[in-house]
């Protein structure tokens, strides 16, 4: 074997100065990494980068951005250093590091939660044994029994069952829809983890995402509900269960599966599950994207898809691609390096037809993770062949080319660099990594708001619902929308809601504040801020929801026009409109004198719609509310709401809110130009 190894190195690396005679491959049981050095090599050219991947093909390596981490056994350190590579020592004792970070799996205490309820979040404090992961998933499924299903997709080489988990929501009214009906409609999201056995965090990330989807759906969280109602989620937490178990019993750095290759007369074990996919399995990039050497860490197998794990996963993907509207998103989670890699890995020439859209969406995700990150994460996005290195037979190329996944990624999680050099992650990092992945998945709403206008209703509503949003502010020019807002919509209207949740490439654009409020409460409100038809005040709710834009606002606006035209307040044209304004306001005042809120005892979207009419809108048409104590007290109650204050801070930071709710009202609007 040593000779085979030597020959390989020579043939791949040419006249390598590396003293290959001293190379040793770790033995396969009870592997110790004591004294192993982790070096981070920064190659000077793309050619050198590819050459390094090949030269260290039998070592544990991990690319991180434009550097390659490599674990060098103590016996080879001197020889390595004599190579004169541009290398930085990351860690001088990998074994000590592995022991120091408590990478021992902790057992799972199922008594911390009641059966049928979600498990304790303390799960994410540490790593866990394989059997506990299976229990954990059973508990997740039990906690969401009507909307979750576990099923077997096949067996690993060592005959472990490979499980997939299906989570689905319910877009129909009043209850659970059959799984069959769901399947005909929805785009599929498929997530894989732990194809590389040592990347333990990747499974924990999809466990956290599944947990949040279930917990959010059960508690009415807008984000989770929108996801589960619009997509069919499938998770494969363990692509490579045999390898995973092996990392916990024998070799923490094990990467491949556990399949021997007796026909090749080799004692080396394992195939790289992320080089065994059929698509372009043996493509020949300029420098190797996998290796035919069964001892290599990126060994591709003897034939495309010849591992039992690949057969199981590929069959599942084929099935999912044919269902609903097909695979919208495929993500293979890896650890680590902070990258969102799109196809292709095997070649950059040509790139996929839809590459611009792919990179646009991947880049959006990268930026969203950064924005959500508590650890200051810094992600890169783009085709693997461009921003990392060539890889053939990988899952993202295959899922895009063969299964039609619109967005097909390898996601290298955080961090970017650490003492583990890309090989092992301190369990102390689990929380920050899983949290930034979930936070990225939130609703993606943007509100376009023309200041001193009714658009302030939308942030108010979103703050009440706890839905995150971006806000873009525009100033009146001098009275109406500026050109950059006018060109966004045929009516040049404000507010505008942009919703990129379902389709980041083609966000939905909606105008009319009443329509936007309806859209948000129905789509993301999950029953909050509205009353259902069964509620005794349902009709009141609808009446007052529509009253502001249907009656109050046009009535006040007519008086404004009459005031502009009339000579004085004795003018009958003014008096006529004034009488109507007073009637409308008296009507609201009566309502609010005997009810806490417009729809009755509950604060609803009707209050959100009406608030601005008596605050900011009075800048255009003054209304003295001194006699209307019902309205004044309601204004005070509403203005005290933290959501109102938060929304006004973001939408109208310069306004004096106290003046807005005072009896005399705010000072008149003065155009800036």
Binding region for ligand NAG (CB under 6 A): 157-159, 221-223, 265, 359, 363, 367, 404, 406, 439, 442, 465-468, 503
Smallest Cα–Cα separation from 614: which of 599, 594, 595, 598?
598
Contact 596, 567 (CB under 8 A): no
Question: Minimal distance in Å, beta carbon 517 to ligand NAG?
Answer: 15
632 by DSSP, 3-state: which?
helix
The least distance separating ligand NAG from the CB of residue 502, rounded to whole angstroms, comes to 9
Q: Cα–Cα distance between 103 and 426 in angstroms, integer?
A: 7
Q: How many angstroms separate the CA atoms of 281 and 284, rounded?
A: 9
- Rounded CA Rg of the chain: 31
Is the Cβ–Cβ distance between 1 and 223 less than 8 Å? no
If the CB atoms of residues 292 and 468 are measured against ligand NAG, the closer one turns out to be 468
| Residue nearer to ligand NAG on the CB measure, 158 or 426 | 158
Residue among 378, 439, 387, 441 at smallest CA distance from 414: 378
Burial of 174 (0-12, 13-18, 19+ CB in 10 A): exposed
Nearer to ligand NAG, 1 or 83 (CB): 1
**Least distance in angstroms from the C-beta of 536 to ligand NAG:** 26
State the distance between the two ends of the chain, measured CA to CA, in whole angstroms: 82
Cβ burial 86-103 (10 Å sphere, 16+ → b, else e): ebeebbebbbebbeebeb
Nearer to ligand NAG, 51 or 221 (CB): 221
Shortest Å, Cβ 83 to ligand NAG: 28
B/e letters for 203-242, b = 16+ CB within 10 Å, e = fewer, are bbbbbbbbbbbbbbbeeebbbbbbbbbbbbbbbbbbbbbb
Query: H/E element holding 206?
Result: helix 200-219
Instruction: Please say if 412 is a catalytic residue.
Output: yes
Catalytic hit among 207, 309, 412, 429:
412
* Sequence-separated (6 or more) residues with CB below 8 Å from residue 322: none
Q: Which is nearer to ligand NAG, 467 or 635 (CB)?
A: 467
Is 158 or 633 the residue whose CB approaches ligand NAG more closely?
158
Q: What's the rounded Cα separation, in Å, for the pair 210 and 438? A: 9
Least distance from C-beta 405 to ligand NAG, angstroms? 8
Q: How far is the CB of 381 from ligand NAG (least distance, A)?
A: 6
List residues with catalytic annotation.
Answer: 412
């Amino acid at each position: 074997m040593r000779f085979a190894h030597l020959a390989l190195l020579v043939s791949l690396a040419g006249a390598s100065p590396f003293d290959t005679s001293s190379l040793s491959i770790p033995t396969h049981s009870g592997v110790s990494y004591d004294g192993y050095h982790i070096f981070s090599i920064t190659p000077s050219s793309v050619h050198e980068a590819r050459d390094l991947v090949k030269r260290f093909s039998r070592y544990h390596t991990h690319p991180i951005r434009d550097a390659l981490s490599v674990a060098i056994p103590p016996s080879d350190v001197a020889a390595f250093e004599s190579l004169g590579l541009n290398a930085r020592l990351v860690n001088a004792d990998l074994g000590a590091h592995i022991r120091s970070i408590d990478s021992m799996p902790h057992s799972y205490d199922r008594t911390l939660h009641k059966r049928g309820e979600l498990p304790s979040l303390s799960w994410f404090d540490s790593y866990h044994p394989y059997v506990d992961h299976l229990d954990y998933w059973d508990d997740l499924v039990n906690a969401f029994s009507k909307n979750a299903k576990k099923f077997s997709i096949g067996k690993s080489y060592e005959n472990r069952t490979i499980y997939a988990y299906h989570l689905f929501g319910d877009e129909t009214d009043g209850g659970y829809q059959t799984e069959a009906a769901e399947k005909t409609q929805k785009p599929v999201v498929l997530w894989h983890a732990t194809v590389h056995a040592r990347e333990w965090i990747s499974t924990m990330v999809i466990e956290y995402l599944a947990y949040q989807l279930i917990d959010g759906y059960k508690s009415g969280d807008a984000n989770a509900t929108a996801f589960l109602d619009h997509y069919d989620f499938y998770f494969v937490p363990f692509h490579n269960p045999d390898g995973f178990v092996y990392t916990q019993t024998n070799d923490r750095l094990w990467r491949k599966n556990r399949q021997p290759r007796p026909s090749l007369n080799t004692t080396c074990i394992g195939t790289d599950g992320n080089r065994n996919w059929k698509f372009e399995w043996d493509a020949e990039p300029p420098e190797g994207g996998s290796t035919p050497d069964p001892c290599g860490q990126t060994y591709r197998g003897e034939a495309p898809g010849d591992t039992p794990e690949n057969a199981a996963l590929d069959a599942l993907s084929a099935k999912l691609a044919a269902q609903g509207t097909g695979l919208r998103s495929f993500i293979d989670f890896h650890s680590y390096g902070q990258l969102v890699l799109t196809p292709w890995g095997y070649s950059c020439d040509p790139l996929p037809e839809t590459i611009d859209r792919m990179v646009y969406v991947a880049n959006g995700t990268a930026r969203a993770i950064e924005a959500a990150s508590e650890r200051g994460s810094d992600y890169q996005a783009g085709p693997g062949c461009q921003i990392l290195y060539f890889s053939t037979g990988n899952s993202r190329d295959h899922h895009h080319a063969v299964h039609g996944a619109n967005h097909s990624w390898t996601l290298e999680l955080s961090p970017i660099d650490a003492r583990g050099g890309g090989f092992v992650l301190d369990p102390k990092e689990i929380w920050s990594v899983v949290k930034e992945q979930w936070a990225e998945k939130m609703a993606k709403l943007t509100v376009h708001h023309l200041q001193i206008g009714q658009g302030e209703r939308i942030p108010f509503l979103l703050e009440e619902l706890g839905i995150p949003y971006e806000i873009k502010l525009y100033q009146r020019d001098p009275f109406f929308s500026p050109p950059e807002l006018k060109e966004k919509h045929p009516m040049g209207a404000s507010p505008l809601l942009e919703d990129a949740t379902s389709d980041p490439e083609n966000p939905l654009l909606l105008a009319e504040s009443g329509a936007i409020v309806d859209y948000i409460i129905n789509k993301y409100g999950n029953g909050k801020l509205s009353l259902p038809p069964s509620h005794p005040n349902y009709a009141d709710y609808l009446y007052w929801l529509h009253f502001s834009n249907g009656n109050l606002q046009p009535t006040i606006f007519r008086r404004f026009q009459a005031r502009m035209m009339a000579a004085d307040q004795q003018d009958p044209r003014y008096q006529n409109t004034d009488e109507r304004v007073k009637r409308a306001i008296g009507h609201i005042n009566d309502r609010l004198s005997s009810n806490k809120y417009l729809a009755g005892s509950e604060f609803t979207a009707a209050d959100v719609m009406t608030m601005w009419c008596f605050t900011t809108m009075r800048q255009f048409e003054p209304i003295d509310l001194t006699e209307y104590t019902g309205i004044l007290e309601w204004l005070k109650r509403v203005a005290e709401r933290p959501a109102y204050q938060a929304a006004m801070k973001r939408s109208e930071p310069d306004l004096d809110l106290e003046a807005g709710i005072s009896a005399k009202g705010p000072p008149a609007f003065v155009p800036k130009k």
